[in-house]
Chain A
Amino acid sequence: DTEVTQTPKHLVMGMTNKKSLKCEQHMGHRAMYWYKQKAKKPPELMFVYSYEKLSINESVPSRFSPECPNSSLLNLHLHALQPEDSALYLCASGDRFGGLLFFGSGTQLSVL
């Protein structure tokens, strides 16, 4: 079992819906990450939070909006997504150096 918890595990949404993905860790890590993974592809970095501040945004469309309410929680707010946004969304946490990551099981998102 992973120590990074993501909810929900599966999500189906329409292109006009607003939904949120949630991630929680209690390992005391001060860096948290959102990755997007398409089938049979490597994870692609979306956002990095370091000490609750957004430190990296990989030119992600504004229909994805991250939020880090505190050091244990990370959210990804979704609005007006497109079918091509369907993917596995992975949350990870780690130390401030960025390499030793603990991944959650992901949210499998389908946009209809």
Chain B
Amino acid sequence: SYELTQPPSVSVSPGQTAVVTCSGDKLGNRYAYWYQQKPGQSPVVVIYHDSKRPSGIPERFSGSNSGTTATLTISGTQAVDEADYYCQAWDSRTNYVFGPGTKVTV
């Protein structure tokens, strides 16, 4: 089955750049998606199709995907960005796969 891996945690100072990685076999050959989940809330998609931002998502969120790694970058990180972030991909055999999640602490 297809699997994604993420670092358990990332710590960043306010105003700095947070980088969250997601690794999987040939991940760059498929689309990566990123979800933000704050405590007690439902997930919200912040990046789709590797690098696109849904309407309403701040420009400080960006994404890339190449080789075996997808990356979520939060530029000028704010306290409000503190949350768990999950990457996700679709696989024809496993269907929908989530990474284990990364806790971003600001």
Our verdict on whether A and B bind, yes or no, reads: no
